[in-house]
Amino acid sequence: MLDRRQITDHLEDVEKALARRGGAIDLSDLRALLAERKSLVTETEELRHRQKSAGDEMKAAAKAGGDAAAKLREELGKLSARVKSGTARIAEIEAAVDERLLELPNLPLAEVPEGAGEQDNPEVSVWGEKPTFDFAPKAHWDLGPELGILDFERGAKLSGARFTVLFDDGARLSRALIAFMLDVHRERGYREVQTPYLVSRETMTGTGQLPKFEDDAFKTAGEKELFLIPTAEVPVTNLHREEIFEPGDLPLHYCSYTACFRAEAGSHGKDVRGLIRQHQFDKVELVRFERPEDSSEALEALLDDACEILRRLDLHYRVVELCSGDLGFSSARTFDVEVWLPGQDAYREISSCSCFTDFQARRMKIRYREEQGAKPKLVHTLNGSGLAVGRTLVAILEQYQEADGTVRIPEALQPYLGGQEVISVE
């Protein structure tokens, strides 16, 4: 959520910053609400002051006798009604402003490159070399079924499109990747946490999933409304909702494995083949709570932590920075890690690492103190995939495939698979 004071005092600057995301966002309704609130607050304070004065005058008049006390009593009644009406309207405006603020995206940081969409995202770095083959490399949606480890048809039979069943080495490889990722991140200073997969509306709102992305969420029906999490970012960041970190508590880093659930209502048929865009998928997520002055360096460190998984698996990848027009709703700055998929002759996103500045923290009221007894300030939150498990499995299948249809297992993963070196038809 954006800072109300910033909007009140610097509305034109906010509008310009939001326009960098693509298309002007009309804030005239917010301007009118805030102006009305300011006027009402001033008027109500004056009325309360008059109430106090009239009350003192009425006490004196009551002692003196006569009609003055009755007139003052009548005036006090009218003043009370006006104060009550003004206070109620201020509360209505507060609610309307909060509702409107929940609809507004975060402001891009100044260093975010300009652009309209993903075609304008600049490449930042490349790691490793593209694997070469003396045969035509296959896509994972062909390799997996041929090896008997991915079954898209049975997934569809059970649940519909965009669900997959993993058998044998597919299931074992997925489990090995989860353990490997968590071990690496714990080694690099992250605290492992396991959270619920079902969360409240308040929890989804805290990280910015609601109200904008409600159509992309799966939720329960009936008396108790709960949402299936789209990412571990949601429950993990909300762990400290309405809390104040004391001096010495920050920085705080978490890693968490969860299943993730997304309706993908706005995907319009994109990436319907294979494991790239599923309704249910596994992911290891990294979440960081930082002091504002440290969040820029923390984003670089977060990005490196995500990339470390790919480096240890010896998977070729590149990093791009999202331009202003391609930023996610809550993000102030984002780097995407894209792994090379030779079977598709394309780079595909495998991690998105973002700094949200104080946008999420303001929604969740997560603050910290610089020193004991100091006034609390809003923290900065960051998160990134470390990594998307299914997409990592895809990258291994496609980058490590052999001409005979087998797939080599990266050396770093072999201890998690009992020393197994190759996936072949069972």
What is the 8-class DSSP label of residue 417?
G
What is the 8-class DSSP label of residue 236?
H
Give the pair of three-digit tokens for residue 164. 């997959």
Q: How far is C-alpha 93 from the geometric centre of its chain's CA atoms?
A: 27
**236 close to 254: Cβ distance less than 8 angstroms:** yes
Q: Is 162 a catalytic residue?
A: no
Q: Is 277 a catalytic residue?
A: yes
3-state class (DSSP) for residue 422: strand
What is the 8-class DSSP label of residue 377?
E
- Residue closest to 392 by CA, chosen among 256, 229, 276: 276
Place of tokens 């507060």: 94
Q: How far apart are CA 118 and CA 115, in angstroms?
A: 8
Element (H, E) at 33: helix 28-64
Find the catalytic residue in 264, 349, 369, 408.
349
Q: How far apart are CA 317 and CA 362, in angstroms?
A: 34
User: Cis omega before residue 196 (within 30°)?
Assistant: no
Place of tokens 């909300």: 238
**370 close to 336: Cβ distance less than 8 angstroms:** no
Q: Is 188 a catalytic residue?
A: no
Q: How many CB atoms lie within 10 A of CB 355?
A: 26
Element (H, E) at 341: strand 333-341
Find the catalytic residue in 37, 277, 288, 362.
277
Q: Is 408 a catalytic residue?
A: no
**121 close to 322: Cβ distance less than 8 angstroms:** yes
3-state class (DSSP) for residue 193: coil
What is the 8-class DSSP label of residue 135?
S
3-state class (DSSP) for residue 237: helix
Q: Is 391 a catalytic residue?
A: yes
Find the catalytic residue in 37, 172, 262, 367.
262
Q: How do the residues of the chain divide into helix, strand and coil, expressed in percent and rounded to 5?
A: 45, 20, 35
Find the catalytic residue in 331, 351, 352, 354.
352
Place of tokens 């027009």: 325
Question: What single string gives the DSSP state of each residue in 37-54?
Answer: HHHHHHHHHHHHHHHHHH
Place of tokens 């009325």: 47
Place of tokens 């400290």: 240
Give the pair of three-digit tokens for residue 103. 């609809």
Q: How far apart are CA 333 and CA 303, in angstroms?
A: 12
Catalytic site residues? 262, 277, 349, 352, 391
